[in-house]
Structure 1
Amino acid sequence: MGVEEELLLVDREGAPVPRAQAVLDGAEPADGPLEAEFMEEQIETATPPHASLTEIAASLRAGRAGAQAAADREDARVVAVATSPLPFAGTTVSKLRYLTARAAFGITAREQLTSGCHVHVAVADDAEGVAVLDRIGPWLAPLLAISANSPYWQGVDSGYASFRSQVWARWPTAGPTRLFGTPEVYHAAVEALVGTGTILDPAMVYFDARLSATYPTVEIRVADVCLSADTATLLAALARGLVETAARSVDDPAPDVPVEILRTAHWRAGRSGLSGELVDPRTWRPAPAHDVVGALVDHVRDALVDAGDLDAVTELLGALWAAGDGAARQRAWAAAADGDLGAVALRAADETLA
């Protein structure tokens, strides 16, 4: 598995700054792999593929530290928050594809300063990958809740734990998907979406989980970038557990959950995070977040045990429950700083590298 993280670039007051190209131009090999994203106010890191959760954890920390080393040369800080606490204008990266998207999608593109976390998990082939996609959908909303880390939007409290999920849902292909059954049906669906002329290319198929066009993986894209590297490690372990559990059950019928129910469960996870009720995939009724996340761990327990990840997941989850999700922590920092959201961004920058 491997993990990609999108990180915000801010100045010394916590405000987003459009310095991605300068940061990338000045980056050194020791900083690790860094890439541009849609906006000049963010950059992306990526871990190498690892089988060991310990190695993933180390690579996540190294990636964040390398990104900060590159940002230091441009007097900027990297922050693992999925939306900026402070207001922003947003500067689209000067690449033809991004500028075309900005013209085609209007305010959806202009306001797309959001940062996600994408977990890639290896699969044998497209057949196994589609079988996995068909079986993990009910459990993706709890992953969003675990990662929830974007309570603020344009300088105000949105009322959501993950407002990124609301902003991201504006894209026409974003969100949960139906059952596909076979690779042929999946690829035909992608071709049909491109064929509508609404999206630019297959890379704009923004399903919550999809077959990667670049790697032999299932790419789980539902999560906010996590405030803590520990939470990102937990997310990676649970994502791999979901994929492995699904791959082991390909002979069982995939759960045919209506997309409108999945979408509603995802909305609930973005609204509440870990601080309220979620929709329980076992019953499709409301239940405390603690119970739903516990059910997720039970669902993937055998895969976690076989990977040697169960003890780490138990420890990381315990720490997350004690500290609160990223949204809850940001709100607590804001309260302690008398509402100073610049101070929240800078506190989050410290936590990014902790």
Structure 2
Amino acid sequence: MRSVGVEEELLLVDARTGEPQALSTAVLAAVSRESGGEPEVFEAELHRQMLEFGTRPQTGMGDLAEEIVRWRAEAARHAEDLGAAVVALATSPLPVSPSIGSGERYQWLEEQFGLTTQEQLTCGCHVHVSVDSDEEGVAVLDRIRPWLSVLLAMSANSPFWQGKDSRYSSYRSRVWGRWPSSGPVEIFGSADRYHEQVDDMLGTGALRDKGMIYFDARLSHHYPTVEVRVADVCLDPSTTVLLATLVRGLVETAARQWRAGEPPARHGVGLLRLAAWRAGRSGLEGELIHPVTMRPAPAEVVVRALFDHVRDALEDSGDVISAQEGLAALLKGGNGARIQRDLLSRSGGLRGVVTECVSRTRG
């Protein structure tokens, strides 16, 4: 069975006001003192109002769920010692002046990309799924392309930006799309062609390193995995687990298609960009662009098409029932964007939204 790992980025906020706080250095120092030299789970991110953690590779989704809940709770504990809190929101609902980290890499990004770097206070969720080789990994990338926009719609958790409703479900996806290397990609056809494309992009001098290959899905340059990077960080940890379950199903389904000689869908990058825009705009409300037909269809129909597409892989991994239940709960209760807007209508203020989401972050 393929292993799965998850990286989540969290916002650090003032426990009383809900405003983002540049405390990642202090939190990481506290973690380091307590860990006694053990491998670090938490890492700094581009902005000091963010904290990232990564799980170990897991084959059981129950074990993955336990890790996500555990590390969210640990992050919250360390933040609480500083009068702060962590919250799984992909953008800050309240106005914020982002503070870029002091590392050499982050300073280079600010110098080269200016306002784009300054405004990248966004939190995503990255799912790693093991593959046997780069050749298998690229075959997977070629075949999952049309389905990535559905994952974005399901995870959408960033309706607010600088104190205003953006009118998007995932405004993070719009901000992230400002990087020149981000978004959907072409069909590569082989691992050699993939690596050639990456080398050519680095050869332009516009990108610092392979870490800036910001494709919606890519080969990890650290692990033998396909890394799906399209999603917002999810408000509820159960949604993160559902996302990871479906991503593993997509990877396994694509690998089986490749071994069976089935070619990837030939949708052009232009169509995939439109599908991603619609997913970021609509989330699970209204219509999405169907990955097979590339025509509008109700969001629920599209989400269920994703489930049907990976159902055989889910059956084989023992995840089909939990995925069914998770999808039903998500479609009924809504993604993070809908929950945030519902909270605003009840609380009357964005601070109330953040306060409630702090509680929901632990699940």
Tell me the equivalent position of 1:2: 5
Q: Write the deviation string for residues 216-271 of structure 1: whole angstroms up to 9, x where unpaired.
A: 00000000000000100000000000000000010111111100000000000000
In 1: Cα distance, 2:358 partner to 2:200 partner: 42
Question: Does the 8 A contact of 1:175 with 1:206 survive in 2?
Answer: yes
Tell me the equivalent position of 2:202: 194
Taking structure 1 as the reference length, the TM-score comes to 0.98
Q: Does 1:351 align with 2:360?
A: yes
Choose 67-76 or 117-126, whichever is displaced more. Answer: 67-76
Tell me the equivalent position of 2:35: 29
Q: Write the deviation string for residues 92-148 of structure 1: whole angstroms up to 9, x where unpaired.
A: 010000011011101100000000000000000100000000000000000000000
Q: Does 1:249 align with 2:253?
A: no
Q: Does 1:333 align with 2:339?
A: no
In 2: Cα distance, 1:264 partner to 1:95 partner: 35
Structure 1 counterpart of 2:6, one-letter code: V
- Deviation of 1:45 after TM superposition, in Å, equals 1.1
Alignment of 1:31-110 (within 5 A): 33-110=41-118
Choose 68-77 or 265-274, whichever is displaced more. Answer: 68-77
CA-based RMSD of the aligned residues comes to 1.1
Taking structure 2 as the reference length, the TM-score comes to 0.96
Tell me the equivalent position of 2:18: 14
Choose 133-142 or 246-255, whichever is displaced more. Answer: 246-255
- Deviation of 1:346 after TM superposition, in Å, equals 1.2
Alignment of 1:75-154 (within 5 A): 75-154=83-162
- Deviation of 1:6 after TM superposition, in Å, equals 0.2
Tell me the equivalent position of 2:268: 258
In 1: Cα distance, 2:96 partner to 2:111 partner: 19
> Runs of 4+ in structure 1 displaced over 3 angstroms?
none
Structure 1 counterpart of 2:284, one-letter code: L
Tell me the equivalent position of 1:236: 244
Tell me the equivalent position of 1:214: 222
Structure 2 counterpart of 1:146, one-letter code: M
In 1: Cα distance, 2:273 partner to 2:200 partner: 21
Q: Write the deviation string for residues 305-324 of structure 1: whole angstroms up to 9, x where unpaired.
A: 00000100111111111211
Does the residue aligned with 1:249 lie in a helix, a strand or coil?
helix
In 1: Cα distance, 2:286 partner to 2:85 partner: 32
- Any stretches of 5+ residues in structure 1 without a counterpart? none
Question: Does the 8 A contact of 1:120 with 1:220 survive in 2?
Answer: yes
In 2: Cα distance, 1:74 partner to 1:193 partner: 42
Choose 256-265 or 196-205, whichever is displaced more. Answer: 196-205
Structure 1 counterpart of 2:302, one-letter code: V
Q: Structure 1 vs Structure 2: percent identity of aligned residues?
A: 52
In 1: Cα distance, 2:306 partner to 2:157 partner: 20
Structure 2 counterpart of 1:311, one-letter code: I
In 2: Cα distance, 1:123 partner to 1:305 partner: 19
In 1: Cα distance, 2:141 partner to 2:334 partner: 29
Q: Write the deviation string for residues 160-205 of structure 1: whole angstroms up to 9, x where unpaired.
A: 0000000000000000000001111101111111111111111101
Choose 70-79 or 242-251, whichever is displaced more. Answer: 70-79
Q: Does 1:293 align with 2:296?
A: no
